[in-house]
C-alpha cells in the first residue's frame, strides 16, 4: 500500500543523506521525495512517498524518529489528508487541437504557459490520480513531462 511520510528535520549538512541512507540500507523504495523549508527557518519538511504494509511503514517511522536530525515524523495517509503534486507537460503548439486547448483552458487545475518557441507548457496541480488521468490524455502529444513528488498535510 502507498504511504506518505512527513519528516520535519534540522537544516543540517547530511540530514537528507541520512534519511535516504536509512531507506537504502533496509531496501525500502522511495517512490518520490520532496524537501523544502518549513514554517521554522531552522528546519525543512521532507515528504516521502513509499510503499509497504502497515508493519513495514511503522518500522520506517520508528527508525526515522531515531535519527539525530529528525524533529518529528508522521505517516499522514492513515488520517484525512490533502495531497497534491505538480506536473509540467511541454507540447508542440501544432499538436494540440482547438477543442483540447479550450478544454484545458476551462480546467481550474491547469494553467497554460506560452513559450518563445512553437511549444506550450501546461501546468497541472492536483491529486496524483488526477495527474495520472491528465498525463494519460496528453501522452501521445507530449514532448516532455516533468513531475514532482507528492506533498501532503493532515486535514484534521
Tens digit of each residue's pLDDT (9 = 90 or more) over 114-155 = 888 889 999 999 999 999 999 999 999 999 999 999 999 999
Cα–Cα distance between 123 and 89 in angstroms, integer?
7
Whole-number Cα distances in Å, 119 to 14, 35, 89, 94? 39, 30, 10, 8
Q: Decide: 149 and 49 in contact? Cβ < 8 Å.
A: yes
Q: What CATH architecture applies to the domain 82-154? A: 2-Layer Sandwich (3.30)
User: Given this model, what pLDDT does residue 84 score?
Assistant: 96
User: Given this model, what pLDDT does residue 97 score?
Assistant: 83
What is the phi/psi pair of residue 138, to 5°? -115, 0
3-state secondary structure of 34: strand
User: Given this model, what pLDDT does residue 43 score?
Assistant: 95
> 3: which strand partners?
50
Cα–Cα distance between 68 and 51 in angstroms, integer?
24
User: Which CATH number describes the domain made up of 2-75?
Assistant: 3.30.70.260
What is the phi/psi pair of residue 141, to 5°? -110, 0
pLDDT < 70 regions, the chain: none
Cα–Cα distance between 141 and 72 in angstroms, integer?
43
User: Given this model, what pLDDT does residue 104 score?
Assistant: 85
* Domain extent listing, the chain: 2-75, 82-154
User: Given this model, what pLDDT does residue 64 score?
Assistant: 95
Whole-number Cα distances in Å, 25 to 17, 21, 28, 34, 88? 12, 6, 8, 20, 33
User: Given this model, what pLDDT does residue 83 score?
Assistant: 95
2-75 against 82-154: fold identical? yes
Amino acid at each position: 500500500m502507498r504511504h506518505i511520510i512527513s519528516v520535519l528535520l534540522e537544516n543540517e549538512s547530511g540530514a537528507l543523506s541520512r534519511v535516504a541512507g536509512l531507506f537504502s540500507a533496509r531496501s525500502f523504495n522511495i517512490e518520490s521525495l520532496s524537501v523544502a523549508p518549513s514554517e521554522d527557518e531552522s528546519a525543512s519538511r521532507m515528504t516521502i512517498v513509499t510503499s509497504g504494509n502497515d508493519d513495514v511503514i511503522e518500522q520506517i517511522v520508528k527508525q526515522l524518529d531515531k535519527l539525530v536530525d529528525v524533529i518529528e515524523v508522521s505517516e499522514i495517509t492513515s488520517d484525512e489528508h490533502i495531497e497534491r503534486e505538480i506536473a509540467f507537460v511541454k507540447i508542440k503548439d501544432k499538436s494540440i487541437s482547438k477543442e483540447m486547448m479550450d478544454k484545458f483552458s476551462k480546467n481550474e487545475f491547469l494553467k497554460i504557459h506560452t513559450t518563445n518557441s512553437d511549444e506550450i507548457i501546461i501546468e497541472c496541480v492536483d491529486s496524483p490520480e488526477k495527474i495520472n488521468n491528465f498525463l494519460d490524455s496528453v501522452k501521445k502529444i507530449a514532448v516532455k513531462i516533468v513531475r514532482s513528488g507528492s506533498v501532503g498535510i493532515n486535514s484534521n
